[in-house]
A and B are shown apart, each in its own frame.
Chain A
Amino acid sequence: GNSVTQMEGPVTLSEEAFLTINCTYTATGYPSLFWYVQYPGEGLQLLLKATKADDKGSNKGFEATYRKETTSFHLEKGSVQVSDSAVYFCALIRYGGATNKLIFGTGTLLAVQP
């Protein structure tokens, strides 16, 4: 079946450090891939997405490239800020199935220290 695996946290970084959160997926066909972010006390927000192979999604300094050959969608940011502290979820939708439901990974907690 369709699934998402992402690196376990917590990930603790100092401000201005480089961030990578790994995400790999298993899916039939060609899913769309997403990163969602959940700030403390808030709901899930879409951070970025990519709909086909080699697409790069980017937003707020974060970026992720859809790699079909490695079935990956790793999240990166060149210089993190304290305000980036949150839980990050990798997810996919396999369009064309019964329902366009999101399938999420388990989430990665990022803590950025000043």
Chain B
Amino acid sequence: GAGVSQSPRYKVAKRGQDVALRCDPISGHVSLFWYQQALGQGPEFLTYFQNEAQLDKSGLPSDRFFAERPEGSVSTLKIQRTQQEDSAVYLCASSLAEENEQFFGPGTRLTVL
């Protein structure tokens, strides 16, 4: 596709539910980043993939957060047993290589009730 796409664009979950957020990066982009943007804040790094390898997951806030990119293209961010503090916009970005410009998707707005 022309850009990074994310789905769903909006997700409402009840507290305790599991959610899965999808990111389709630009074709051919090796690097993929996930960021979390709380309301009124700047995005904060969650995790980084180079192809299928998750090289950095230092930003994941708890072991309820899990990300994968099994074939080195599409990535899924999974949040188990969602809590209200997980409410945020989750942004995905991809780049040709780690040092190149990151292109962002539109984000998924997660609301946990």
A98-B45 in contact given A44-B104, A106-B40 (Cβ < 8 Å): no
| Chain B residues, CB < 8 A from A70 | none
Q: Are B105 and A95 in contact (CB under 8 A)?
A: no
- Per the bound structure, the CA–CA distance linking A36 and B43 in Å amounts to 11
Q: Nearest B residue to A109 by beta-carbon distance?
A: B40
B-side binding surface: helix, strand, loop or mixed?
loop
Residues of A within 8 Å of B101, CB to CB, are 46
> A100's closest neighbor in chain B, by CB?
B98
Task: Please tell me the size bucket of the interface on B.
Answer: 20 to 34
B33 at the interface (CB under 8 A from A): yes
Cβ contacts under 8 Å, B3 to chain A: 43
Which residues of the other chain, B, contact A106 by a CB distance below 8 angstroms? 40-42
CB–CB A101/B48 < 8 A:
yes
- Are A101 and B104 in contact (CB-based, < 8 A)? no
The verdict on B106 contacting chain A, using a C-beta distance below 8 Å, is yes
Q: Is the CB of A107 within 8 A of B42?
A: yes
The answer on a CB contact under 8 Å between B106 and A42 is yes
Q: Residues 94-113 of chain B: 1 if any A CB is under 8 Å from the residue's CB, otherwise 0?
A: 00001101101111000000
Q: Cβ of B33 and Cβ of A91 under 8 Å apart?
A: no
Q: A99 CA to B101 CA in the complex, in Å?
A: 14
Q: Which residues of A contact B4 (CB under 8 A)?
A: 43
The chain A residue sitting closest to B56, CB to CB, is A99
Chain B residues with CB under 8 A of A44: 43, 91, 93, 104
Instruction: Give residues in A with beta carbon < 8 Å to B.
Output: 4, 36, 42-46, 89, 91, 95, 98-107
Chain B residues with CB under 8 Å of chain A are 3-4, 33, 35, 40-45, 48, 55-56, 58-59, 91, 93, 98-99, 101-102, 104-107
